[in-house]
């Protein structure tokens, strides 16, 4: 009896900590999320509870992924998959496959990511898990855009859109409209992209989804740049920056500062560009976003190069090289090397 009471107490503690961990995850507090996920894995193993262990392994994978430590993320997600497959737990297998797909997508291994999402899809269908299926299809569509197949992406996005409307899922509808906007932007049709982003924005404003609104405004600003409307882009990015600051979202703030720097650079205003890039760099360092930090260092280096300060540019590029060697991101590593070689 004493043993079962102890198990029950541990179980309650695990559940409470998991809710807390997921709250941290949703609010972008990834270091706190990581700490709790580690503690939950230890507890689950102490209880010898394989279902909770699988959840904790998945959470650890997502936590490491959010902290841009992709190799550790893959290690824990593969452990979660092994556990789910050994228990023939189809729901856990499908969920873990989609998390692995996200991890490989982040690493730029797009074909591998596609394979994993397509492996998960029939499992969600078998379980009649419509939200899981829709979410996986959305990821498949985004991957088609990234793989240079935006027309295929559009076909899937429209399928997803009709299902989300049928379910009355407003938040999901806005997410899909954003995906359609991306595909049209990739097709070189910025006016159509603008239309879908604006449609997404009106839903997010109606449902008071501030985070979604900031994401969509960011997409809109990018299209304004493509359309040769940099002033409109600047206004929109400033709006995005204010929203992220109000939400206390450091990661979003870093992206907005970076985009402001990039737009000022396009306008030939090197001084303003450097100011925003430097602020973005501080935020990327604080959030542990290595790819963001590397990209901004390359952009700062490019400005120094334009200002014929070759030595300063070299310092930035070498800093970026030292950082890219710490993470597994081949496309970025190639870009850093190209820029060093071109000096």
Quick: pLDDT tens for 198-253: 999 999 999 999 989 999 999 999 999 989 999 999 999 999 999 999 888 888 89
Is the distance from CB of 278 to CB of 312 less than 8 angstroms?
A: no
Residues 6 or more apart whose Cβ sits within 8 Å of residue 116: 97, 98, 100, 101, 104
**Model-level pTM?**
0.83
DSSP 126-181: HTT-HHHHHHHHHHHHHHHHHTT-HHHHHHHHHHHHHHHHHHT-HHHHHHHHHHHH
pLDDT of 71 higher than 70: yes
Number of neighbours of residue 14 by Cβ within 10 angstroms: 22
**Which tokens hold the place of 289?**
């976003």
Confidence at 2, pLDDT banded by 50, 70, 90 = low
Give tens-digit pLDDT for 110-131: 889 999 999 999 999 999 999 9
**pLDDT, position 3:** 60
Distance CA 336, CA 135 (A): 33
Q: Tell me: the pLDDT tens digits for 4-56?
A: 677 788 889 999 999 999 988 877 778 889 999 999 999 999 999 999 999 99
Q: What count of other Cβ atoms lies within 10 Å of the Cβ of residue 169?
A: 16
């Amino acid at each position: 009896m004493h043993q079962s009471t102890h198990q029950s107490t541990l179980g309650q503690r695990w559940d409470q900590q998991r809710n807390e961990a997921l709250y941290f995850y949703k609010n972008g507090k990834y270091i706190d999320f990581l700490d709790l996920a580690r503690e939950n894995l230890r507890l689950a193993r102490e209880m010898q509870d394989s279902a909770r262990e699988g959840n904790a392994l998945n959470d650890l994978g997502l936590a490491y992924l959010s902290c841009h430590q992709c190799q550790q993320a893959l290690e824990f997600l593969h452990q979660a998959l092994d556990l789910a497959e050994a228990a023939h737990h189809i729901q856990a297998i499908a969920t873990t496959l989609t998390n692995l797909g996200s991890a490989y997508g982040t690493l730029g291994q797009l074909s591998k990511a596609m394979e994993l999402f397509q492996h998960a899809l029939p499992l969600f269908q078998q379980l009649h898990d419509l939200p899981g299926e829709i979410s996986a299809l959305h990821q498949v569509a985004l991957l088609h855009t990234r793989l240079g197949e935006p027309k295929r992406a559009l076909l899937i996005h429209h399928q997803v859109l009709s299902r989300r409307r049928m379910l009355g899922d407003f938040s999901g509808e806005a997410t899909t409209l954003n995906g359609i906007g991306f595909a049209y932007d990739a097709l070189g049709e910025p006016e159509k992209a603008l239309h879908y982003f604006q449609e997404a924005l009106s839903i997010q404003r109606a449902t008071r989804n501030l985070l979604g609104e900031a994401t969509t405004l960011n997409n809109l600003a990018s299209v304004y740049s493509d359309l040769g409307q940099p002033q409109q882009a600047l206004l929109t990015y400033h709006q995005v920056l204010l929203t992220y600051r109000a939400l206390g979202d450091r990661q979003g703030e870093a992206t907005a500062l970076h985009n402001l720097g990039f737009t000022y650079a396009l306008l030939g205003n090197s001084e303003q560009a450097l100011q925003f890039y430097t602020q973005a760099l501080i935020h990327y360092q604080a959030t542990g976003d290595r790819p963001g930090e590397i990209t901004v260092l390359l952009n700062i280096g490019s400005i120094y190069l334009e200002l014929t300060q070759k030595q300063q540019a070299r310092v930035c590029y070498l800093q970026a090289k030292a950082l890219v060697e710490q993470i597994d991101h081949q496309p970025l590593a190639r870009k850093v090397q190209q820029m060093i070689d071109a000096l």
